[in-house]
Structure 1
């Protein structure tokens, strides 16, 4: 049993000290962010974002401040947020929330970096709260999030274990329906079953579960529906001879993993074999291309060129993959437009796919940890053709 999904106070002390060193390198006196994932990363405070801002101010020479609405003060304390909490009374709301942060941080001058995800309206509030400071846009926190620390890697690994359990549970439900000789499940029924397996496993085996907006589950689609890469589960019932795709994942301690497999119901046709094997080979080649120092764009080209060389390039609709961490999708991007060099400690998805209108989609995904000499998948569900064919 996982004693707690929450990272210890020492993790955040070391992390914040590392951020302070980087601030000094960029001639910044502090950094401010209201991005919910950044807030969780820097302090361990997870929350549901709404119109009431939660903001972190991390100065070089003073304590980290966490601004929260008064009604969330106790929640931040219960999560052992690694910061001095500044609470504002959002009711009756006579002062702008950021003004309380500005008052608590006085005097704050010099250069304050801010995350590019902040809204224009909230940036105006920051300017009003820190009138003597110079605001500078920076992606420093996002770049820090690229490189997972050992404590985070352990959480990703546990999320992968549960994701593999969900993939197995989805397949098992279909096989049970086949054995019973009744109707196959609908996409929605399959999705509900898988989500239940993931969440029940987590709460049964973990203490102090970190609740995020997406805890466990994913996309389930079959037949022609799977030719739309991000289609949502529907009442469409699985059919013999068709494929179905399980695009699953979960978050442990707020750290995500995704694992996706495409299954074939019955003896595969020649076309199904051709499509599946092209994607499987692309995924294998893509995984081999993920090495420290290789540009994201270079790995992406190596992966997708396998599909193009198989004569199926017209069915490509997306890149090789993306970064994973506190967000299921985050930078860097395994895409032609991103020349970020891969580095040890990064976690990325390796998920080539093809989508044939009116027929089906084929995608295989594993979350990969970049190591000193290559990459290894967190998720371990098998991916050979024999492993994904369900006999009828």
Structure 2
């Protein structure tokens, strides 16, 4: 793939079906430059001379390099003076070159190494007196103490300070990033469709209902195969596509894992799915009823559906996350179902499936256009089932809109037997 291909301009690789463009999942180098420049502006305003981060998500965000994290450090150094250096083990150098990593590559032989890995970085960017007037280096708050100590030991005189500058910079997505999220939403909707189709096919054939595990395997396979068929350079992250599938009483556990339980007539069941395109995640969750819903099932589902609709309308620029959360969850409280709440309304989504800001009572972050958050109120009735509906929402100039589009109401989500 050309390094100048953007996420909004499909290319047609040699192996693509004739006349069918493939979706490009890699951000163009000028887009990565803009992401770096936004962070550099924040860094300078905060008085830092450099930022050091070893978070795999931050590395991908700033340089476009996706890797399998392990004990070998991979880190980005972004200097106020314009320097951008990617520290990699030598075994990753060619991989970084192949992905057109937007930084100067500096490698070290091995870990733990005769020479410490961060020494290669310090030898390239210099001591505190060489890389800035104050020697202030911000490091990501996710950096382990072991990594912090290893880095600090190699920069004489530097003042290392924890900072969330990179995390906050990632809150607001560029249009090119939103294009990737939108494509992930399209595939998530296809996965939801495929899960329902598998169940309907079983009903029509008179065969056994699928198990939770079989459903999870099926929808994940649909997501992954769609990407490899329609995308010209699949960025592999974990998870690439899939999610949680649970039915009946199992769904009363908010993050329960799929089991061998087979769906039964009358079950409430949940497809909690998502995928990542270009490393950018989306989630889409729907709650279904297998057969004619009972009065209780309708009451529970309708309450969550109303909370999700009102909560979605509350997601607007200039509103505090905690206020949106309160508006959404109050609907469930007013319905007399507050005792079944187990979690907040939602969370930020980006290069992580769960990342800040949080739609929760303790987060006063103001929403801004370009942010993407989940809107996923849920209730969980022990011994019966859980009910949760989720869309990934992008904040717009005058409100918000869902990226995922699969129907939400019981008129579609009740499956006839």
Pick the TM interval, shorter chain.
over 0.9
1:10 aligned residue (13, 19, 30): 30
Q: What is the CA deviation profile of residues 12-62 of structure 1, one whole-angstrom value per residue up to 9, with x for unaligned ones?
A: 112212221111100100000001100100000111111001000000114
What is the DSSP-based 3-state SS (H/G/I as helix, E as strand, rest coil) of the residue aligned with 2:387? strand
CA contact (8 A) 2:305 2:389 kept: yes
User: Which residue does 1:365 correspond to in 2?
Assistant: 390
User: Which residue does 1:79 correspond to in 2?
Assistant: 99
User: Which residue does 1:168 correspond to in 2?
Assistant: 193
CA contact (8 A) 2:244 2:272 kept: yes
> TM-score w.r.t. structure 1 length?
0.99
User: Which residue does 1:284 correspond to in 2?
Assistant: 309
Q: What is the CA deviation profile of residues 90-128 of structure 1, one whole-angstrom value per residue up to 9, with x for unaligned ones?
A: 167112111111111113341001111001111111110
User: Which residue does 1:96 correspond to in 2?
Assistant: 116
Residue 55 (str. 1) matches residue 75 (str. 2): yes
For the residues of structure 2 that align with 1:192 and 1:7, how far apart are their CA atoms? Answer: 30
What is the DSSP-based 3-state SS (H/G/I as helix, E as strand, rest coil) of the residue aligned with 1:230? coil
CA contact (8 A) 1:370 1:376 kept: yes
What is the DSSP-based 3-state SS (H/G/I as helix, E as strand, rest coil) of the residue aligned with 1:163? helix
User: Which residue does 1:379 correspond to in 2?
Assistant: 404
Residue 304 (str. 1) matches residue 320 (str. 2): no
For the residues of structure 1 that align with 2:112 and 2:83, how far apart are their CA atoms? Answer: 29
Task: Give the superposition deviation at 1:3.
Answer: 4.2
2:58 aligned residue (11, 16, 38): 38
Alignment of 1:98-177 (within 5 A): 98-109=118-129, 110-177=135-202
Task: Give the superposition deviation at 1:209.
Answer: 0.7
CA contact (8 A) 2:72 2:111 kept: no
CA contact (8 A) 2:127 2:158 kept: no
More divergent stretch after superposition (106-115 vs 289-298): 106-115
CA contact (8 A) 2:54 2:75 kept: yes
2:228 aligned residue (181, 203, 207): 203
Residue 64 (str. 1) matches residue 84 (str. 2): yes
Q: Measured at CA, do residues 240 and 179 of structure 1 come closer, stay the same or move farther in structure 2, by a change above 3 Å?
A: same
For the residues of structure 1 that align with 2:338 and 2:104, how far apart are their CA atoms? Answer: 53
CA RMSD of superposed structures (Å)? 0.9
User: Which residue does 2:4 correspond to in 1?
Assistant: none
For the residues of structure 2 that align with 1:29 and 1:2, how far apart are their CA atoms? Answer: 41
4+ residue runs of structure 1 moved beyond 2 angstroms? 1-4
CA contact (8 A) 2:191 2:222 kept: yes
> TM-score w.r.t. structure 2 length?
0.93
What is the DSSP-based 3-state SS (H/G/I as helix, E as strand, rest coil) of the residue aligned with 2:153? helix
What is the DSSP-based 3-state SS (H/G/I as helix, E as strand, rest coil) of the residue aligned with 1:257? strand
CA contact (8 A) 1:48 1:213 kept: no
For the residues of structure 2 that align with 1:92 and 1:99, how far apart are their CA atoms? Answer: 12
More divergent stretch after superposition (107-116 vs 149-158): 107-116
Alignment of 1:248-267 (within 5 A): 248-267=273-292
In structure 2, runs of 5+ residues without a counterpart are 1-20, 130-134
CA contact (8 A) 2:127 2:156 kept: no
Q: What is the CA deviation profile of residues 319-347 of structure 1, one whole-angstrom value per residue up to 9, with x for unaligned ones?
A: 00000000000000000010001110000
For the residues of structure 1 that align with 2:296 and 2:317, how far apart are their CA atoms? Answer: 36
Q: What is the CA deviation profile of residues 152-186 of structure 1, one whole-angstrom value per residue up to 9, with x for unaligned ones?
A: 00000000000000000000000000111111000
Task: Give the superposition deviation at 1:4.
Answer: 2.2
More divergent stretch after superposition (92-101 vs 4-13): 92-101
Residue 325 (str. 1) matches residue 350 (str. 2): yes
For the residues of structure 2 that align with 1:326 and 1:91, how far apart are their CA atoms? Answer: 27
In structure 1, runs of 5+ residues without a counterpart are none
For the residues of structure 2 that align with 1:136 and 1:81, how far apart are their CA atoms? Answer: 26
